Amino acid sequence: MAETTRIEAPQGASRISVKESRDVLLKPQAVFALQGVGKSFGRAQVLTDIAFSVQPGERIAVIGPSGAGKTTLFRLLSAVLKPSSGRVLTLGCDTCALRGRALRRLRRQIGVLYQNDNLIPHLRVVHNVLMGRLGDWALARALLSLLWPQELAKAKEALARVELADKLWSMPGELSGGQQQRVAIARLMVQQPRVMLADEPVSQLDIRLGREIIELLCTLATSLGTTLLVNLHTLELLHGNFERVIALRQGRLFWEGAPAAISRELLQELYGAEYRALHLDDVSLNSGS
């Protein structure tokens, strides 16, 4: 093992070696780092011994059969749930150690997009988009904004980027499913989170609209330099959009690698009985198999 030189730290500070400090400098802080993570609900063990890390700016798809634990994993990453065992470090914070204001501050840096119900139905599109600013506004300003939208130019700009400039004053119920997802993405643009977690964002949409939404999310993540994790059921959308795939099966990390490395055999083993039901034979793989 290489010898390392010790630096004398001031009293009260932790000591780190030259080698360690060089490693820290070379490697930006991971957005997520999971070590031996387990999650159980009562006696049901849902996740077991999960370990991986995510670096800033990565675009990752999480795949796996129904019930594999993908949504539970996303809820652990966003600090909505705490692990039953192991450690989840989100943006450098141990989620188990956070409470109250510190926990809310961490969650504000994470933008979440769900399958549906992303919008508040009785608020106009403009207010739904400006919800992305709530974390930075005092309560008085947030209330005033409901009467007199604050930072209107930001909302307009974000809606223009998702090609919904003309829907500024619409109610969510007047929009299609795909348009509602685009409004939710405009809210993420206004929020500018450090990381975006999208939990099955296109499951309710047909493949064409799903592709549009995934491409929009990936373009946004790339242009803002934001880390993006998507829980993805539509495997046709992996290629060209994601750099890395994390596959879960029965609550365990089954495989991780580049989309191009996914083979038909891997999918058969990963999805088991669901492979046929999901018509995964029809999914074209980069390897051509």
Ligand X SMILES: Nc1ncnc2c1ncn2[C@@H]1O[C@H](COP(=O)(O)OP(=O)(O)OP(=O)(O)O)[C@@H](O)[C@H]1O
Q: Catalog residues that contact ligand X under the rule CB under 6 A.
A: 41, 44, 46, 64, 66-72
Which CB sits closer to ligand X, 212 or 274?
274
For the bound state, the minimum distance from the C-beta of residue 117 to ligand X, rounded and expressed in Å, comes to 15
Which CB sits closer to ligand X, 43 or 101?
43
Alpha carbon distance 101, 107 (integer Å): 10
Close Cβ partners of 61 (under 8 Å, ≥ 6 residues apart) = 229, 230, 231, 232, 237, 238, 241, 242, 244, 245, 246, 259
Which CB sits closer to ligand X, 40 or 170?
40
For the bound state, the minimum distance from the C-beta of residue 264 to ligand X, rounded and expressed in Å, comes to 21
Alpha carbon distance 119, 111 (integer Å): 13
Give the Cβ contact number of residue 275 at 10 Å: 16
Which CB sits closer to ligand X, 232 or 266?
232
Strand order in the sheet with 32-41: 44-54, 32-41, 85-90, 93-94
For the bound state, the minimum distance from the C-beta of residue 73 to ligand X, rounded and expressed in Å, comes to 7
For the bound state, the minimum distance from the C-beta of residue 124 to ligand X, rounded and expressed in Å, comes to 31
For the bound state, the minimum distance from the C-beta of residue 254 to ligand X, rounded and expressed in Å, comes to 12
Which CB sits closer to ligand X, 64 or 172?
64
CA 111 to mean position of chain CA atoms = 7
For the bound state, the minimum distance from the C-beta of residue 121 to ligand X, rounded and expressed in Å, comes to 23
Q: How many residues in total does the chain contain? A: 289
Q: Are strands 195-199 and 227-231 parallel, antiparallel or unpaired?
A: parallel
Which segments of the chain are extended strands (E)? 32-41, 44-54, 59-63, 85-90, 93-94, 110-113, 195-199, 227-231, 244-249, 252-257
Which CB sits closer to ligand X, 44 or 140?
44
